[in-house]
């Protein structure tokens, strides 16, 4: 594995008063986690070090490229909704 990253986002529900000022800001119940794994050489997810549970993740994109000049590279992106 060459690199991994994780990004979480939460939607916020707001209530505004009559002049447009926010009086209540409350997170909604769903947390979206986006994980990206980049590797060079072996492209098997099973060979990557443990960076958390992959159960319940949905792979949203996978890209593998190979050339005669360099090792095979891969980028896998997955999303989990909690």
Three-state SS at 46 = helix
Predicted confidence at residue 42, as pLDDT, reads: 62
Nearest to 51, CA basis, from 62, 63, 38, 41: 38
Counted domains in the chain? 1
Q: For every one of its 82 residues, what pLDDT tens digit does the chain have, with 9 covering 90 and above?
A: 566 778 888 888 888 999 988 888 888 877 888 888 888 776 555 554 444 555 567 888 888 888 777 778 888 888 888 7
Whole-model pTM?
Answer: 0.55
Query: What domain range is 27 assigned to?
Result: 3-81
């Amino acid at each position: 594995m060459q690199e991994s990253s994780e990004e979480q986002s939460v939607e916020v529900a707001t209530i505004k008063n009559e002049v447009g000022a926010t009086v209540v800001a409350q997170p909604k119940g769903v947390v979206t986690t986006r994980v990206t794994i980049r590797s060079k050489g072996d492209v098997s997810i099973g060979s990557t070090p443990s960076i958390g549970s992959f159960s319940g993740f949905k792979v949203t994109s996978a890209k593998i490229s190979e050339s005669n000049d360099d090792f095979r590279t891969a980028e896998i992106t997955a999303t989990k909704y909690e």
